[in-house]
Amino acid sequence: MLLIITLLVVIALMVVNRGRLGRLLEAMSDSPLALETYGATSSVLKVIVFCIVAAIASMAGALEAQLFSFGIGTYFPSFNSLILVALVVIVTVGDPWYAVIAAIGYSVIPAYITGSTTTSWLNLLFGVGAATAALGANQGTMPQSIRRFLDRLGGRPAPAATGQPPVAPKTTASARAEAVAAAARPGGDAAASKPGLAVRDLSVRFGGVKAVNSVSLQAPCGVITGLIGPNGAGKTTTFNACSALVRPSSGRITLHDIDVTRESSPRRARRGLGRTFQRTELYNSLTVRQNVAMGREASMAGANPVAQVLSSRHSNKVIDAAVEEALALTGTAWLANAQAGLLPLGQRRLVELARALAGPFDMLLLDEPSSGLDGHETEQFGEVLRTVVRERKCGILLVEHDMNLVREICDHIYVLEFGQLIFEGTAEEMQNSAQVRAAYLGDFDLVEAADPEAGAGRAPGDADVRRPIVTRE
């Protein structure tokens, strides 16, 4: 009976791990923040996991009671808990195999192999396993041959080689996008009529510090809006307030004319608000393809317990189509089977953008997305953003320090300094603004002036007036 129950539990856990719930749990273990901002409510996910674990534990307790009939302290030595924890740490071959192997070493072998030296041999094997785990911390705790055998036994495919990036494609990002199935494209032409994101008199305090002070801005659909300023100006804090990662002290945030000021981050994501992060929030243990897929699947799971556990064939097809389009747009298809945690910063940025593009978002907040890219990659990146806006009619609010990129792709620009809005206008107007040059772009004459309008008569085209904030080698 114990064997049958164990087999059924193992099968149930394998089904869970290979389904939507397992994918969501893997993502949540790496970055619960990213999972929330892409539409999945992690609190519901945790309750589901608690219910499953409680069911298994209650079954184990019933079997334990049948075995002993009554409980005394000698049946449950406290040291055994430490052994169980250590076994789980050492035998990290994946769910549910680590539990089976740990049970064999902890209960089955002592029960069937008895003798005066059995405990000593088990302790020796335990010590060797612990030493092997410590020495192989960066390469995995199991020998590769054993790991491959267990992966084949569990039906897990071997990771494919990442290969090399393809030769510079002859087609543009727009042509690649048109070649991909349009079924997964969110929004469509209907998104062009949506007003996008609007912030009214937003203020954010951290104790006595006012990080954002009465900032108002608009980022409509169908255009790229820039939000720039020196470090510490409050750009990321504004983003965090828009995506409900920090609570505003005052102000109002609307998305498509709907007040979302008091809504949670997953709720805003399901309304169409997606984002990337200044410090990339990827699911490091997952592959690039799995990361990108989670951009769409997290919003499908939402806050519905049934949707978080089960997925349909139709939804899987939609996810696959969205993934292929996003990988093609960002040029990361050749990295699809690589582990995201092993990628350099520039590629991580592109993967995070691909994940956002795979989601059903018609308003994107991109926080320094070109950081880590070289000049050629940045140029291609700008073309990708223009293609996305042109094809999907979505809106983009962009925080960026590369002024060349900002001038080339932004239709409207806001400038922050010390949490306050100091400028609003086009890229050309920004370059001609003495106040912006003194605060951010750099003007050696105006920096010394207390009056922000001082030196405004200087010709904007003079070579010594402006210097770029970013210089790429």
pLDDT, tens digit (0-9, with 9 covering 90-100), for 276-330: 998 889 999 899 999 999 999 999 998 899 999 988 899 999 999 999 999 998 8
Arithmetic mean of pLDDT, 66-82: 78
Shared-domain flag, residues 215 and 126: no
Within-domain flag for 453: no
Would the pLDDT of 391 be above 80?
yes
Number of structural domains, the chain? 2
145 in a structural domain: yes
The answer on 116 and 192 residing in a single domain is no
Q: Give mean pLDDT, residues 115-136.
A: 73
**Residue pLDDT, tens place only, 193-209:** 578 899 999 999 988 88
213 with 281, same domain: the answer is: yes
Report yes or no on 445 lying in a domain.
no
In-domain check, residue 456: no
| Residue 160, in any domain of the structure | no
pLDDT of residue 159: 52
Looking up residue 282, the CATH number of its domain turns out to be 3.40.50.300
Let me know if residue 316 belongs to a domain: yes
The verdict on 146 and 187 lying in the same domain is no
- Domain identity same for 121 and 264: no
- What pLDDT sits at residue 439? 75
Give the model's pLDDT for residue 157.
57
**Per the domain annotation, does 163 fall within a domain?**
no
**Domain shared by 21 and 131, yes or no:** yes
Residue 116 and residue 194 in one domain: no
For position 466, what pLDDT does the model report?
37
Q: How far apart are CA 340 and CA 162, in angstroms?
A: 11
Which pLDDT does position 105 carry in this prediction? 73
Instruction: Reply yes or no on whether the pLDDT at 147 is more than 70.
Output: no
| 104 pLDDT tier (thresholds 50, 70, 90) | confident
Q: Same structural domain for residues 118 and 245? A: no
**What pLDDT score was predicted for residue 241?**
93
Q: Are 137 and 179 part of one and the same domain?
A: no
Range of the domain at 255: 174-432
Judgement on whether residues 73 and 185 belong to the same structural domain of the protein: no
Q: Is there a domain that residue 328 lies in?
A: yes
* % of the chain residues with pLDDT over 90: 41
Which of 53 and 451 is assigned the larger pLDDT? 53
**Are 148 and 183 found together in one domain?**
no
Give the mean pLDDT of the chain.
80
Residues 143 and 263 in one domain: no
Give the pLDDT score at 151: 66
